[in-house]
Amino acid sequence: MISALSNQWLQALQADGCRITRSRKVIVDLLLNSDRALGPIEIYDLARKEYPALGLVTVYRTLEKLEAMGLIQRVHLPDGCHRYLRSTQGHEHLLLCTQCGKVVTFSGDDFSKLSDRVSQNTGFLIQEHWLQLFGVCPDCRKHL
């Protein structure tokens, strides 16, 4: 299933004018297999274990393209850094570990009360929200 997705992503990149190279395949596979949000340098370091000739510029370009195509999303951390993650399907919220970058998605929130109150106070018609929580995952809590 991952390899089918990996091919889809590579085909999307190719349709967007990128050559399919070993470097791109390694980057795509890393992003697809990761349950953590990864920063560009992290991706670079991990991908070079698979393919030492990889260039950092390719990492940045590939991330840019994948983000523009909506296949990955950029998540922001409280320290101002950002990392990349496979895009979530439909309406989901993110819970992100500030220590290791592990990401869990959840849905089933009830924001209607808050949303109604904000709407009343501001006169806005609220159409959409985006929620990202930060915390420390169970594994990292053991080492705190």
Could you say whether residue 35 binds Zn ion (CB under 5 A)?
Answer: no
Could you say whether residue 95 binds Zn ion (CB under 5 A)?
Answer: no
Residue 67 C-beta: closest distance to Zn ion, Å? 22
Could you say whether residue 118 binds Zn ion (CB under 5 A)?
Answer: no
Could you say whether residue 97 binds Zn ion (CB under 5 A)?
Answer: yes
Tokens of 37: 């949000």
Q: How far apart are CA 80 and CA 118, in angstroms?
A: 27
Could you say whether residue 33 binds Zn ion (CB under 5 A)?
Answer: no
Stretch that binds Zn ion, among 44-52, 71-79, 100-108, 116-124 (CB under 5 A): 100-108
Tell which one of 10, 12, 32, 100 touches Zn ion (CB under 5 A).
100
CA 83-102-11 angle, 5° bins:
55
Tell which one of 109, 116, 119, 135 touches Zn ion (CB under 5 A).
109
Sign of CA dihedral 11, 31, 19, 81: positive
Residue 37 C-beta: closest distance to Zn ion, Å? 11
64: closest CA among 4, 2, 131, 18?
18
- Is the CB of 18 or the CB of 104 nearer to Zn ion? 104
Strand order in the sheet with 93-97: 103-106, 93-97, 132-135
Tell which one of 99, 106, 116, 124 touches Zn ion (CB under 5 A).
99
Give every CB contact of residue 79 below 8 A, 6+ residues apart in sequence.
Answer: none
- Is the CB of 110 or the CB of 120 nearer to Zn ion? 110
Q: How far apart are CA 58 and CA 8, in angstroms?
A: 19
Q: Interface with Zn ion by CB under 5 A: which residues?
A: 97, 99-100, 102, 109, 137, 140
